[in-house]
Amino acid sequence: MSRMKQTLRFLPVTFIAASAVAFLAGCGGEKASASTAANSDGAVAAQEQPTLTPDRFINVTANDQMKFNRNEIKAKAGQVLSVTLTNEGTMPKFSMGHNFVVLQQDTDQEQFLEAAMTQAGNDYLPKEFQSSIIAATKLLGGGESDTIVFQLPEKPGKYPFLCSFPGRYQVGMSGVIVVE
C-alpha cells in the first residue's frame, strides 16, 4: 500500500521531466532522450537513472489505417531501447491519435484498455495503471513523433505494447517485445 502511494507521488514528476526532454528531443535531434518509468520499480528507478544510454534505436510508425509497422520487437533483458513513434497519418489527434505503450507482463490488458477509454485528458493512459506502464509515448496526431527511452526488465518474456486510443487494440494496434 505504501509503495503504491510512493509510486503515485513520484510519477507526475517523472512524466513532467519526460515531457520536457521529449520536447527537446523533438526540436533538437536524435540523441536527446526522454524516459518514463524504467521497470517494475517505476519512477523511482527512473530517477536513479536520469540519463539512460540507448543500446538500440527502434522506429515504429502508425497511420490512418490504424496499423503499427511492426508487431514484434526482439530484445535482450535489461537492454535500453530508444523507441521513436511517428504518426504518418494526416488526421488529428482527437480522432486518429496513436501512442505506443509498453506494459508489464502481468497487466490485465482488457482492464487497462477499459480504464484507458475514459481518460482522454491523460492521453488515454489510465492513472490507476501507472505502475503497469513501463514506458509510453505521448498521444500523437498526424505528422507528429515522440521518442521514449526505457530499460527493459531483466526478466525474460513477452512484454505487450499497444496503442491505448479507444478501439485500436481491437483492430490490431498491439504487439510484443520479446525479451530474451
Q: Name the residues that contact Cu ion, by CB under 5 A.
A: 98, 163, 165, 168, 173
Of 21 and 123, nearer to Cu ion (C-beta) is 123
**The pairing of beta strand 145-151 with beta strand 157-162:** unpaired
CB of 42 to Cu ion, least distance (A): 24
Report d(CA 154, CA 171) in Å as an integer: 30
Of 34 and 101, nearer to Cu ion (C-beta) is 101
CB of 65 to Cu ion, least distance (A): 10
Of 113 and 163, nearer to Cu ion (C-beta) is 163
Alpha helices in 28-144 (DSSP H): 43-48, 93-96, 109-117
Angle at Cα 140 formed by Cα 135 and Cα 146, nearest 5°? 50
CB of 55 to Cu ion, least distance (A): 26
Residues 47, 171 contacting (CB under 8 angstroms): no
CB of 66 to Cu ion, least distance (A): 6
**The pairing of beta strand 80-87 with beta strand 133-136:** unpaired
Of 53 and 118, nearer to Cu ion (C-beta) is 118
Place of cell 498521444: 139
